[in-house]
Amino acid sequence: MAFVKNLFDQNFIQYASYVIRDRAIPEIIDGFKPVQRRIIHTLIKTDDGRFTKVANVVGKVMAYHPHGDASIYTALVNLANKELFIDKQGNFGNLYTGDSASAGRYIECRLRSITKDILNINPAITEYVDTYDAREKEPVAFKAKLPLVLIMGAEGIAVGMSTQIMSHNIHEVIEAEKACLRGEKFQLFPDFATGGLIDCSEYKDGLGKIIARAKLDTSDEKKIIITELPYGSTSESLKESIEKAARNGKVKISSINDYTADKVNIEIKLPRGVYVKDVVDSLYAFTDCEKTVYCNLLVIKDNMPVQMTCTEVIQYHAKQLTQILHDELELEKAELFEKMHLRTLERIFIEERIYKAIEEMKTEAAVNKAVKDGFVPFAAELIRPVNDSDIEHLLKIPIRRISLYDINKNRKEVQAINARIREINKLLKHIVEYAISYLDGIESKLDPAVFKRMSTLTNIKTVDVKTVVKRDTPLKYNEKDGYLGTQVSGGVELMRITPFDRILYVRKSGIYSVTEAPDKVFVGPELRYCGFADKDSLSKILFTIIYRDPETQYAYVKRCKIAAYIMNRDYFFAPDGMEVLHVDTRKNFTFELNYVKKPKMKVFTEKFKAQDYLEKGLKALGVRVTAKEVESITVEAQKKAE
């Protein structure tokens, strides 16, 4: 058993680590989950500018992704609907209605050119590793020049943790990154493709919450048209929530019709005598027209799950951008130096007729030595010493090219290389300014019609459900069978309540409880009290409890208020073991104690006024009324509580 337990523990830890790092949580470097990264890698590798069937792409991605094709297909469709990396052709579903995309064999996609501007795919900068079957190479993470995790957003549930990252407008993210590079302050708020209204007053830089609302057209007082959806909703799900609320009597509507296609259009017609002002708050309170979304910006950073803020992500990517651009420039500079070195070798090799020295050589070693010796007098003109690779390059120059060699063309090419090297050196000295201009270049390639802000920022005053719903549900008590609730048949109606009310009831025994509005609960015969348990109501109710000690038969009076309680828990007004004779909520009333008859006793009954006793704490003991044994109690007729 110990072996099995250790095996389970070890495998579970490995599984949890895999789910967290390789499935559910996006990587901070490029903002991708593994399946998304493998889709982009496949599209980059097979890009020829033409559309390819999605089914074909999915098949190729399976060479990198060790899971089924369904997850790849779903991820590809979702990624394509972000409109940033993938150009699509065919039915990729409808974000507004929630309709799914056509089968992969019917739809096509291709890579957008801007992808290679945003992602670095050079193996000299981006690390590549073997795939799961070691047949191919795949990137560990693309070096992204934009904080894609904020642009695309993400949600995922791993083992013991989850992430909920809101999507942001790409223009605003780029402006924030530029502001960060300039050392200026910036602030980001979410933006959703479905539009809607959002309140970000408690967004807390990606770690708080937002309130999202549908956008309503209320220009017609007898009709409401929903024109934009709140985050996480479709027209179908929103319609269902409204219909459910209508069936439960929480929202009064006559009919609802969904005309959504390329734009959201849900029409709600109101019944006779009901107007828009009577319904709007109920829509926000009881349907998905208003949602509270809790955010948790959790990403993989340095191979570990880390909670970050939007500001920290922008700062991370601003630093990453300058490093990527620096590495790209240094790499290009090295390549230019190598190119210029080869052009210099070619010029000297041809102009100084070094190739003549190899005509009489009989062995490869002698040829190589002759070429190297030929360059000795020109060592000062070379960028680096001549190696075997250089000699091999020179020996591959065809005779035709030697005979037609153009020295002026060579010099112009070298001049262009030198000019670019000087430009690179200048950019390296002003890398921040270069990074900002690079971001400007990316931003200029974005279609303003596609990437405009969709959601409207506003301050939303949330609707308290309790203020919208009406107290019109009867709460009944049937003394015959002892049941209290809204589903009790027969009996007496005590009051009208809502499903959100808390009800306090006191049994004959002096035990009291607080519950949500009960459907049907047994409280026994002779219910002492029933009322609302909100603070305002309880602060006005003074309970008078008259109880008797079973041992001495003495009677006690206790007057108190209920200040706090725990739901669905039984409490006893009197001390343990005491017998409650009466519970009253009147401030002023008279009660009569009937004493146990004994020899030489002259007074057998005595009247007292409840108001003569002071109010005490709920846990305090009562005050003894008299030092006589009490047989029973008589209370003056009940009147309406003051």
Q: How many CB atoms lie within 10 A of CB 13?
A: 11
| Integer Cα distance of 510 and 529 in angstroms | 10
Q: Single out the residue of 201, 282, 216, 258 nearest to residue 464, CA to CA.
A: 282
First to last CA, the chain: 70
60 CB-near residues (< 8 Å, 6+ apart): 42, 46
What HEC string does 322-367 produce? HHHHHHHHHHHHHHHHHHHHHHHHHHHHHHCCHHHHHCCCCCHHHH
3 state SS of 165 = strand
108 CB-near residues (< 8 Å, 6+ apart): 51, 52, 53, 54, 88, 89, 90
Say if residues 443 and 457 touch (Cβ distance below 8 Å): no
Look up 294 and say whether it is catalytic: no
Find how far residue 57's CA is from the centre of its chain. 29
CA distances (Å), origin 373, targets 117, 366, 367, 378, 624: 45, 10, 10, 10, 123
Residue written as token pair 């903002």: 31
| Integer Cα distance of 197 and 280 in angstroms | 14
Polymer length of the chain? 642
| Integer Cα distance of 454 and 441 in angstroms | 23
Catalytic entry in 15, 18, 64, 106: 106
Would the CA dihedral through 630, 632, 636, 642 be positive or negative? Answer: positive
Which parts of 194-330 are beta strand (E)?
197-199, 209-213, 215-217, 223-228, 255-258, 266-269, 290-294, 298-301, 304-307
* Residues with catalytic function: 106
